[in-house]
Chains A and B, each alone.
Chain A
Amino acid sequence: MTRLVIDNLNFSYDDTDAARNICLSVDKGEFVGLIGPNGSGKSTVLKNLYRALKPDSGKVSLDGDDLFFLSHKAAALKLGVVGQENDVPFDFLVEEIVAMGRSPHKKLFDIDNEHDKYIVHHALEHLGMANMAKRNYLHISGGEKQRVLIARVIAQECDFLLLDEPTNHLDISYQLQIFDFVKRLGVTALSAIHDLNMAALYCDRIFVLKAGEIVLQGKPEEVLTPENILNVYGVRCDTRIHPITGKPAITFLPSGKL
């Protein structure tokens, strides 16, 4: 079943095209990756989906509904976002930040009840952060902040996640933990991913962006070939299917050697 369909999406910042003729679809339960060099438009595409940016043209439908006609609240019940914006210049506890994920479920005069508290606690526990619930969000590390935001999107309880490089600034153990976690949730996800090996490990399908356009798409082993990577990123590498993971493993080659 197809959940998200992007049809011919275009977006430009002032004069420069940042996303051109983007067409992609995500099926139920799939983990789809968006890769590409810096500035290729990965974030731009995602921001158009969660309405931080307004597309110049194009249609996006989620479960058959036109996404841009849904209210913010209705969209937030289906679509959870982990963006790159993670600084909060105000005094909040970790658990308060996570509890904000409950907002779309709340009516005007509702206050947080036991059920919400349970979900918040549960989400923090899943990320191994239950002991940090009462810590001040201002004073935790960047990696911890990122995990808090993942906990928040879990508390939001939606079954479609948009992730904008969710493992930036994280130690390798947390990178693996977060992707493992999203996979285990069994949700549908569309994620911008910086690290090609991570993309190879976790994505069911990959779309490659270059200068605002989708230039390649397919399974990781089809997309992540040395020729494609040279074309898109301009670096030489060697890829082979790793015997344990069964996924492509990419080794980049320094320019001096070979």
Chain B
Amino acid sequence: MSKSNLPRGAFNRANPNMPVIIVLLLIIAVISLLLCVGLGPVTVTPGNVAKILLSRIPAVGSAIPRSWERLDENIVLGLRLPRVCLGLIVGASLAVTGVTMQALVRNQLADPFILGVSSGAAATATLGMLFGVFAFFGEYSLSISAFIGSAVTIIFVYTISRVRGRVNISQLLLSGVAISMIMDGVTRIITLSAPNALGLHNAAFWMSGSLAGAKWGYLTLPLAVLLICMAVLMINYRGLNLLLLGDESAGALGINAGRLQKLLVLVGSLMAGVTIAVSGTIGFVGLMVPHFTRLLVGGDHRRVLPISALLGGILVVWVDVAARMLLAPEEMPVGILTAIIGGPLFIFLLKRGSRDKKGW
């Protein structure tokens, strides 16, 4: 990658124009929302989607002439819109979780799915669901049980792969694989031994992820967690940058590395947990999105965090459209598609990493 062929304009790697990029991505996100709400086995035109949405806004709503079918309105408001919004939130959370975990382990290959965190969350979530283990948490028991699973897995994988104060990348990836296999096994055993049918939330859901069946009620907690975690991370953006230099350098530059890493474990597992509780395992988003974000705007977390969130949301929404269109009327789990797209990128990064000996 030589200096001369860097992209020019707003997406200039050396001097990215952040306001322009953010506005551009917000516009793309809104357009994606309008298009994706309309796309599916039953297609609603973007114009009708916009009108249906506008008619729900109190002030301007009455001025919109009703020119759409009742069915369209039900599909848009009851099914698709919550699903697309959930896609945006889940995508953003997964991408930001990826960024968080990459700063924690100081490697671009970290992703909640690859490190087994998703499987850990899924296992405890299934456990909680079936046997009511975490029922005393009430309404949020599913999310909290998933959070516990993801926190335990992150801590476990992180501890295993830390050799003499440094995260060893092969240990990290291998322990991630081993733990996700163990946890997937646990999930399967739990679901197979389930006395009753688990409805939508069966093993397949947890292991391959889906946004089908999204309800408005699913959105609140993940959105709140995303906003809070995002704020925490943005406040600590300098610390995140410094952690990439290594613990020693970060310490010498005035960061309490140990404390910040604990914070990252908490933030990462919180986001992974509540996201996985509503969407199951959607892999590789946390790997792909930060990678492309860094190509666009470089490694500074002040830029990487917001851009990753926006790109992640847009990506998952479109992959979800593909998931419900490709084999229509059958639905594909969205996690299968992200794996098919993200897997090759992972292999590419792995090969590149071992060739350059950079970051290893």
Contacts and interface: CB of A to CB of B under 8 A. Distances in A.
Interface of A: 47, 50-52, 71-77, 79-81, 83, 85, 87-93, 96-97, 100-101, 103-104, 106, 108-109, 111, 134-136, 138-139, 156, 162
A50 B252 contact: yes
A211 B238 CA distance: 38
B247 A52 contact: yes
Nearest to A106: B238
Contact of B299 (A51, A81, A90): A90
A135 to B, nearest CB: 6
A103 B302 contact: no
A75 B254 contact: yes
Contacts of A47: 248
A63 to B, nearest CB: 17
Contacts of A89: 106-108, 244, 358-360
B298 A100 contact: no
Nearest to B256: A72
B221 interface: no
B254 A76 contact: yes
A103 B253 contact: yes
A81 B252 contact: yes
Give the contact-size bracket for chain B. 20 to 34
B251 A93 contact: no
A103 B255 contact: yes
B360 A104 contact: no
21 contacts: A50-B248, A51-B251, A52-B165, A71-B254, A73-B254, A74-B254, A76-B254, A83-B248, A83-B249, A89-B108, A89-B359, A91-B299, A96-B299, A97-B245, A100-B242, A103-B253, A104-B253, A104-B254, A134-B14, A136-B1, A156-B253
A85 B251 contact: no
B252 to A, nearest CB: 4
Contacts of B249: 81, 83, 85
Contacts of A92: 241, 244, 298-300
B306 interface: no
A219 to B, nearest CB: 29
Interface string B23-61: 000000000000000000000000000000000000000
B255 A72 contact: yes
Interface string B316-360: 000000000000000000000000000000000000000000111
A138 B298 CA distance: 12
Contact of B3 (A87, A104, A134): A134
B235 interface: yes
B294 A90 contact: yes
A90 B238 contact: no
B132 interface: no
B128 interface: no
A52 B166 CA distance: 12
Interface in B264-297: 294-295
A108 B239 CA distance: 10
A135 B3 contact: yes
B300 A96 contact: yes
A85 B244 contact: no
Given A81-B249, A96-B299, A136-B1, A88 B244 contact: yes
A74 B302 CA distance: 24
A88 B235 CA distance: 22
Nearest to A104: B254
Nearest to B165: A52
B244 A103 contact: no
Nearest to A153: B252
Given A50-B251, A75-B254, A139-B1, A85 B298 contact: no
Most buried by B among A90, A91, A156: A90
Contacts of B107: 89
Contacts of B298: 91-93, 96
A139 B356 CA distance: 10
Contacts of A135: 3
A85 B248 contact: yes
B108 A90 contact: yes
Contact of B359 (A87, A104, A111): A87
Contacts of A104: 253-254
Interface string B154-193: 0000000000010000000000000000000000000000
